[in-house]
Amino acid sequence: MARAAVLGRLSWLVARLADISDETATARTLILEVPGWPGHLPGQHIDVRLTAEDGYSTQRSYSIASAPAGSRLELTIQRLDDGEVSPYLAGVLSRGDPLELRGPVGGYFAWHPADPAPVLLIGGGSGVVPLMAMVRTRIASGSQAPMRLIYSTRSRDTLLYAAELERIAAGAIKVSSRDLGPAVARRAVGATTVAATMRAAGMAGIRFFATGGIGGVHRGHPDDQSADLVELGRTPVAVFCAGAKIILDLALTLERLESLSVPVLGYGCDELPAFYTSHSGCPVGARVDGPEETAAVLRAAWATGARGVVVAVPPPGELDGAEDMVERAVRDLAGVTGPELTPRLLARVAELSGGRSLDLNVDLVVNNARVAARVASCLAS
């Protein structure tokens, strides 16, 4: 196998395009049949060579998107309109056409399915392609290695493998800080709450975390308090958020944070934002203006013994009628309690707003991440 792999890497093979699948308006997956393919590991790539009739020839590299599967290979090509090779591969190449390639190339960033160690995959744009090969190989091989994928794109329209990723993520269980032990021991796939993400960030020495909104004290159920609050009291991570979720009792949430000695900073604002709106009527502990001042306050807060810090960033838009929709959602779901309550309330608000709350949710998370990155870079410099 090793000898065959080396020979395969060195010699050009002629593949045939067996099928095409459109991923987005500007990207497509090529399914290739490659006679003589020596096999690959997820994370490896190939070189493609195009040769014109006059003999001009050019090469580009493309990651392998598929799990190892005999002589079949999948590549996902993002078309650059002014590029030389990608418009041909993602636009002109048709079923049955030949394509010259060699590989597999690159062994440093490959993943071995027999390795049980946890894997964190982080990628953006078409950089997700080799990571997808790892995700697919993990599923195909039955590996129990914990694997997380963090994937960013410029917009939802350019998200590759959207439906497949959603299907995979749907198998995830909700994991709060108290669930980490059982989830890790059972190697479960989990979607982490703010509390669990803070705990993991704290363990890794990461001090900045951006999210949509923190949990808190539930309206009409003052004993139902999110573990996010307790975690903020014990883990030294700054949480950038659009305040607490509007479905909560914000005044009681702030009181609880005060008891836990958690600083609540308003980023360019004096009121705690309420997720879908900048206005809650609840004053923050201190206002900070701009990344430099926020970094200075965080540094001083940590130097004087603070643990978690809330940096509340006003959302970049307003959801008109948010308060009325939330009141209606709270009434509609009066009988629901426990971990299901927050997701069900948010889903009901999404329904009542005709999806507008979801769009704002995405925008505010991106905005919070942007602010967190600016503050982190000021703190580091």
Contact positions vs ligand FAD (CB under 6 A): 45, 60-63, 76-78, 80, 82-86, 126, 129
Tokens at 101, concatenated: 């390639």
Smallest distance from ligand FAD to CB 37, Å: 17
Amino acid at 115: D
Q: ∠337-341-342 over CA atoms, to 5°?
A: 145
Sheet with 309-312: strands ordered across: 208-210, 238-241, 309-312, 264-267, 286-288
Give the C-alpha distances (Å, rounded to integers) separating 148 from 9, 17, 31, 75, 99. 30, 31, 26, 22, 33
CA distance 311 to 261: 14
State the Cα–Cα distance between residues 254 and 136, nearest whole angstrom: 43
Q: What is the nearest approach in angstroms of ligand FAD to the Cβ of residue 86? A: 3
Pick the closer one to ligand FAD by CB: 109 or 302: 109
CB of 153 to ligand FAD, least distance (A): 13
CA atoms within 13 A on the CB side of 43: 14
| Minimum distance, C-beta of residue 30 to ligand FAD, in the bound complex (Å) | 10
- Answer for the pair 149, 135: CB distance below 8 angstroms, yes or no: yes
To the nearest whole angstrom, how small is the minimum distance from the Cβ of residue 265 to ligand FAD?
41
Taking alpha carbons only, the member of 107, 114, 125 closest to residue 39 is: 107
**CB-CB contact of 46 with 100 (8 Å):** no
In the complex with ligand FAD, the residue whose CB is nearer, 54 or 82, is 82
* Shortest CB 72 distance to ligand FAD, Å: 16
Burial class (CB in 10 A: 0-12, 13-18, 19+), 320: exposed
Q: How far is the CB of 51 from ligand FAD (least distance, A)?
A: 14
Give min distance, CB of 63 to ligand FAD, in A: 4
Q: 19 vs 258, which CB is nearer to ligand FAD?
A: 19
Nearest residue (CB) to ligand FAD, 15 versus 201: 15
Q: Which is nearer to ligand FAD, 73 or 254 (CB)?
A: 73
Torsion of CA 219, 225, 229, 235, to 10 degrees: -160
For 265, the token pair is: 């900073």
Q: Which is nearer to ligand FAD, 128 or 326 (CB)?
A: 128
Cβ distance to ligand FAD smaller for residue 82 or 270? 82
Compare residues 106 and 291 and give the one whose CB is closer to ligand FAD.
106
Q: Tell me the residue number closest to ligand FAD, measured at CB.
A: 83
Asked whether the CA dihedral 150, 153, 156, 159 is positive or negative, the reply is negative
